[in-house]
Chains A and B, each alone.
Chain A
Amino acid sequence: MEKSGSIDSLGSKPSSSRQPSVDSLSSTSTSRSDRSAQAKPPSALSSDSVSTSTEFSPELRVKPKAAAKKAHRDSDKEEPQLLPNETVQDMAHDITYFCPFTGALRGTVMVTNYRLFFKSMDREPGFMLDLPLGVVSRVEKIGNASSRNDVSYGVVCKDMRNLRFAHKHLEDTLKKSVFEVLMKFAFPVSNGLQIFAFEYGQVFPENGWKVYDPISEYKRQGIPNESWRITKVNDQFELCDTYPSTLVVPVNIPDEELKRVAAFRAKGRIPVLSWIHPESQATVTRCSQPMVGVNGKRSKEDEKYLQTIMDANAQSHKLFIFDARPSVNAAANKMKGGGFESEDAYQNAELVFLDIHNIHVMRESLRKLKDVVYPNIEDSHWLSNLESTHWLEHIKLILAGALRIADKVESGKTSVVVHCSDGWDRTTQLTALSMLMLDGYYRTIRGFEVLLEKEWLSFGHRFQLRIGHGDKNHTDADRSPVFIQFIDCVWQLTRQFPAAFEFNEYFLVTILDHLYSCLFGTFLCNSEQQRLKEEIPKRTISLWSYINSQLEEFTNPMYVNYSNQVLFPVVSLRHLELWVGYYIRWNPRMKPQEPIHQRYKELLAKRAELQRRVDELQREVTNRSVSSSSERAGSPTRSITPVQTMV
């Protein structure tokens, strides 16, 4: 326990109330990467960006001692401490940054192969902006800013903010603007450069690439068992190049038959097991749409296969197929050869459409949301503006779908098959969320990492396409905030069940920040096959290496591990909220960070200190009574039993 001192002082200092301890972090300060903590003097500087978005402001997380050192360093006008293998590419003075919250600031811009760094000492306290280049969606040269001589640039970011800079027109036409250098390094893929994750050389105590091992995860679930087996048919990604090499399928279906089923499923994504109920054996399986087409094609093998999945669960004589799409979209897919299972062909199966819209609708919805929340929220019509983005409605539909799946499996003891069109966007959201509701393991930090590695990464959610790492083609129709939406749904669950998750809000925000940062290899590429080909685990660092090396920071102190608790959230707009801690965090008027957690940690420290003192006194008394046992037969020692700890 890093806190010490008198009982009276513990947990009562307002000044410390928002200063989580970071002792555990001091060794990793250089690794704190894009949150730019390494360069943030806690009191000398502030900014509207990462550092003052009070919610997760690193300045509040730095030790006072380190703070003093950094403040000193800053007064020497030192630049941010660079990451291993990070190199300065260009620097320019006299740049104006138009902060949407506090007005224009003049300062210096530095561009490295990893970040854009702006610093201004215009104002007290000073101001810094530290932006990993991976966050940049596009850079635009905007004609003249305030005067003829100015050149202005807009930087549109993937994380809900836009930045605007300007500098004087350059006399020397041969010299490149710092923002042209920025454009080059912000889009390494388009410019034949390497993504920074391949260069980042930080060493962490833990290797995050070892977090997920499919065999042990399936073993945890009790697989293989009499009905399900692990197959290596996809070992070389021959069956399906977007699936992982390890798959779980019904025992009764030989590998040869799997290939015929694959022929009938879009992109060969056959139904495979994601999760099995430890008691009822009801399963969650995932796949892509059947290739029914306009003529209503059927596949005996596929029909048999689903029947086998149903039969594997003795408790129920029904199988639910959850098609994530609106029925209209599912029907429209027949024109492209796809479609959905007809209940005639699949006896004992019931098909349910979950009405979740496609990636294009979601992208548009988030774009609207950005308009509503950034940079400022309009004073009037906040809720109707929010409603008009439909963002929460989409969140609701996704959660509602996951809830129905979880309910069928838990309460109905019925196996379910989940698919959309390709089975890598909406399907992933649904299986991962329902597994989070059903299985408390996934609500731990490591369990959640496993969940992401398994359902999202190994099953081929196309992160590269959906995020567009290092790619300048910002209008690419394949980009979509599917994963952000999922994390938002997880956050909604943590709001309804504040004690059911081992991780805190900061954990979720950190994952989203590194979804874009390109500092870690975790979210690079589109599939397991590609990741192996690019040797991602060899050549990059896993995000989990960073996170698992400082778990304290990401831990929810309120966590209670109730075994076998299934979460049934209330999926209603009455309880769904906009995640202000993520979407509105750039606003300097944001809510202070998790005060309840902070307070709880203080109370824990206080209890530990009291316990220590009670123990001490008890020992004293015991010693005394031992030395003069005849004297005090009925001493208070008897009545004092240590208080049971329940953390």
Chain B
Amino acid sequence: MFSAKPMKPTFRSYLPPPQTDLKSNIEPPVKLEPKFLPGEIVVNEANFVRKCISTDSSQGDLWGRLICTNFKVSFIPQDPPPKQKSQLSHLLLGQHDISLTCLEQVVTVNDTRGKRKVLGSNKKLKFNPAELILYCKDLRVIRFCFDEAGPESAKKVCLAIAHYSHPADLNLLFGFEYQGLRYHHYKGDLVNGSTPRGGIQTPIFDCPSDWDREIKRTGASEWRVCSINQKYIISESLPEYIVVPVSLTDQDVKSYSLSFNDGRVPLWCWNHRNGSALVRMAGSTEPLNQRKTEQKIFTAITKSHPQRREVTVSDLDKALPNIQDIQSAFVKARQICTLDPFEESEERWLSSIENSRWLEYVRMFLKFSAEVVYSLDGKNVSVILLEEEDRDLNCVVSSLVQLMLDPHFRSLNGFQSLVQKEWVMAGHRFLDRCNHLKKNENKESPLFTLFLDCVWQMTNQYPAAFEFTEAYLTVLSDSMWIPFFSTFLFNSSKQCSQVLQDFAKNKAIPPTEDHTVIFPPVWKWSQQFSSRDQTLFNNPMYVGKGAACVQNGEVKSFQRSKKAFSSTVRISSTSQRNGLKGEEDTLQRRGSLISGLRGDFSPVKDESPAERFFRDWFSHPADLQGVLIPLVLPSHVVLWKLFFLRWVLEACIPKGGPATVYHKVSQLVDEIDTLQSKLRQYKGASPHSTPVPSPSGPPPGQRRMYFKASSADEPPTSPNVLNSSFPFNPVGNLCRRGVQGTPISKFLNGAKTWLSTETLANDTF
């Protein structure tokens, strides 16, 4: 069946695949047994299934058992290949497992004619499948062949996978089963541990105190927490506690809510130190009365501004692509990056990427957000982000603006609280946008992925400004497809609390129990990863808050930065951090001296104030603890390779890629941490005089860097195991449709026409 001579790889015309490199640092093979979680049951399985590893040949293919459970598709290889070290391993999913929620499309292929059928729930299959191709939402493409499997069992397992990946109801997602059992199993631990909120440090914003703290942190003294939406009486999609101008009474809020879609009164997001507020707002239900209501609210927002500045309204629907545009751009980008044959797509790679429009959209959102930053920071006016429903584009822009303006959100916990506040609590429809139930494709849109890409662009441009790594962002996006976290399962906080109430009732959990305990958000990372693997989230280059504090102690450097930023309205980091308000806000604009120097010949006639603001900003070194504006030249918004190409073996740089830098810096930072802890040891008597490496860091004794400095008892990790997909492993995770089978298909492969016809299109028959 297989030719003895391995086929020549076509995907990289210059070199054989780098598998030898990938195997160089490996653990000895272990006999694998299927692992099941509490409540997980096997639905169907087939033996003698072949998992394809490379696109072009059967070399390295694995034989084993394909299992479908109520949670995942699992493959248990008979002779597992040695496992790689330095690779992220998931606590709930094995190397060859795919969560059912992660399945985008289940496709079977007929052996004789190569016809494809996309399987849905309760579909019938008229032929015995030769192949099963699983297209995953995390961009993997996994392929199984049934050439040696029993035809009936192959068919059954395919149908089972298709059926179980299309749950009829939210409650049927395995997370509900799992979390219920987990709760009872660990109840004792949870109570004894007595850590509030299950040990999650990220504010959830489901209680007034979280909002209060945010008000205080940002110095928004003219804003207050309003409980009028308790029990969701004015809006189904707003959180129970919202922040409104102090001049509005609860009654005002309630009556104004009638004018907005779904009762969504304008929602406070964030306050600038200069007093400007960022507010998000939905469109109107009754255009006639709208202006009046709007005026009243705008007046109230103006009143909450220390200089009583008029508000600026930014209409996102007019300026930015809609959710269908974004979805179609993503589908195209995915097609180009992962599905189109590698070599054939080389020639038109750049224009294909451009035609997908994904990068264009990323750039539009960054640019739009930067303009809002100018209004808040440069013009010192409050900004209202207007979107018809206030649940999609507004989430992206409001969180990006805050990321640019407030260094707090660039820390790991700050970032998580931002997602919690502007996405989860603001009512982003994760359930619909992720299309977890595969019910309505029109509502599917990767808004959150778009946001993560925008964040990545900023981390790429300012590598020391964020506490987290791109591996973190990628893992966060992957977590959307695991049905265990309350974060990504619901359309609103109301839906969340209702579903979880019923859930608690069904699972005999006391109704008083905290939601975050019974159904934890994704932020409880110990659900997914070991504490060592979680260190992959820590950016060794991060210049954190602690560091900046010290900077202010240094008069000299402070003066310099003040001078450097004097022409902008940038607020120095002192006031921001100390929670002081005011004194820095007296803006130091350009002196009149300049106009004196400038002759009758005005050099820049048509530069707008915004352009000048940006030019000024870019002409000085960026203060990583201050405002951070991304470069939005088309040449500087680039493809997020780890996200889009991590499974593409052909694109994997052996012994290279950004991971080699990460490795090197991590080792150095680990040395620094070690030295610091030694200093603390010496100064044990006076602990207050020594700095703590990271306020959010793990408890002492636990090292926060993934790669350790070499020491006597611990040899350093060899960088030879690194590649550009680190910490992910591309091997076997992206098998485009292969060409095993008829001679004609082999011939077609030679002509390189066969593969190019494959798309994700529903070419069912």
Contacts and interface: CB of A to CB of B under 8 A. Distances in A.
A571 B653 CA distance: 9
Given A123-B597, A643-B711, A646-B667, A571 B14 contact: yes
B353 interface: yes
B566 to A, nearest CB: 10
Interface string B619-659: 10111111000010111101101000100101111111110
A575 B658 CA distance: 12
Contact of A123 (B550, B561, B594, B653): B594
Interface in A5-20: 6-9, 11-19
Nearest to B622: A592
Contacts of A386: 350
Q: What does DSSP make chain A's interface, helix, strand, loop or mixed? A: loop
Interface in B353-369: 353-355, 359-360
Contact of A603 (B349, B656, B665, B676): B665
B624 A568 contact: no
B676 A9 contact: no
Nearest to B16: A411
Contacts of B15: 403, 407, 411, 568
A567 B656 contact: yes
A498 B675 contact: no
Contacts of A610: 672, 675-676, 679
Contact of B597 (A18, A121, A379, A611): A121
A11 B638 contact: no
Interface string A400-436: 1001100100010000000000000000000000000
Contacts of A499: 660-661, 663-664, 719
Interface string A27-48: 0000000000000000100100
Contacts of A595: 462-464
B601 A104 contact: yes
A596 B656 contact: no
B691 interface: yes
A7 B618 contact: no
A434 to B, nearest CB: 12
B682 to A, nearest CB: 4
B653 A570 contact: yes
B550 A8 contact: yes
Contact of B618 (A496, A565, A589): A589
A407 B14 contact: yes
Interface string A607-647: 10011011001100100000000000000100111011110
A607 B671 contact: yes
A500 interface: yes
A643 B594 contact: no
B631 A591 contact: yes
B14 A400 contact: yes
B676 to A, nearest CB: 6
B718 to A, nearest CB: 9
A569 B672 contact: no
A554 B324 CA distance: 48
A558 B654 contact: no
Interface string A133-161: 00000000000000000000000000000
B657 A496 contact: yes
A603 B668 contact: yes
Contacts of B702: none
Interface stretch (B83-91, B129-137, B552-560): B552-560
Given A46-B619, A122-B601, A497-B656, A12 B550 contact: yes
Which of B360, B461, B615, B682 neighbours the largest number of chain A CB atoms within 10 Å of its CB?
B682
A614 to B, nearest CB: 5
B603 A14 contact: no
Contact of A644 (B548, B650, B711): B711
Instruction: Report, as a range, how many residues of chain B touch the other chain.
Output: 35 or more
Given A18-B621, A122-B598, A614-B682, A584 B635 contact: yes
Contact of A54 (B618, B648, B671): B618
A105 B599 CA distance: 10
A124 B651 CA distance: 48
A478 B658 CA distance: 39
A451 to B, nearest CB: 20
A567 B39 CA distance: 49
Contacts of A377: 633-635
A9 B656 contact: no
B730 to A, nearest CB: 12
Interface of B: 12-16, 18, 342, 346-351, 353-355, 359-360, 461-464, 540-541, 543, 546-548, 550-551, 553-554, 557, 560-561, 563-564, 590, 593-594, 597-599, 601, 603-607, 614-615, 618-619, 621-626, 631, 633-636, 638-639, 641, 645, 648, 650-658, 660-661, 663-665, 667-669, 671-672, 674-676, 678-679, 681-683, 691, 709-712, 716, 719-720, 724
What are the 9 tightest A-B residue pairs by CB atom distance, in nearest-first order? A12-B547, A382-B634, A383-B354, A610-B675, A573-B349, A124-B594, A387-B350, A103-B604, A383-B350
Given A12-B550, A572-B342, 15 more contacts: A6-B550, A9-B554, A15-B621, A377-B634, A382-B354, A382-B635, A384-B351, A496-B724, A497-B653, A558-B660, A569-B653, A580-B636, A596-B464, A606-B672, A610-B672
Interface of A: 6-9, 11-19, 43, 46, 52, 54, 60, 64, 99, 102-106, 121-124, 373, 377-384, 386-387, 392-393, 396, 400, 403-404, 407, 411, 496-500, 558, 560, 562, 565, 567-575, 577-578, 580, 584, 587-589, 591-592, 595-596, 599-600, 603-604, 606-607, 610-611, 613-614, 617-618, 621, 636, 639-641, 643-646
